[in-house]
Amino acid sequence: MVLDEPTAALDPRAEVAVYRQFREVAAGRCAVFISHRLGSARLADRIVVLRAGQVVEAGSHEALLDRDGEYARLYRLQAHWYGEGSPSEAVQ
């Protein structure tokens, strides 16, 4: 099963419903979930980070954060919009 940005046009409530259904349907199966929303990437057992079509990192959410590479940088950028602080700080 391949899902490419399945929640891009959904409101937050519908997005949660899709994620719940996806977890149920994908349980015990191989599924590819493509997303630029790194918060949703946390649902995956294994995350693969691509840049210009090349794999630059792969691992679990926790492992990639610990590695402090590309995934961690992008995750912090997106997470900053939902935390405290000025949004302009996130893009500097």
Domain boundaries, the chain: 2-90
The answer to whether the CB of 57 falls within 8 A of the CB of 66 is no
Sequence-separated (6 or more) residues with CB below 8 Å from residue 9: none
For 72-84, write each residue's pLDDT tens digit.
999 999 888 776 5
CATH annotation of 2-90: 3.40.50.300
For 1-58, write each residue's pLDDT tens digit.
776 777 677 787 888 888 888 888 888 888 888 888 887 888 888 999 999 999 999 9
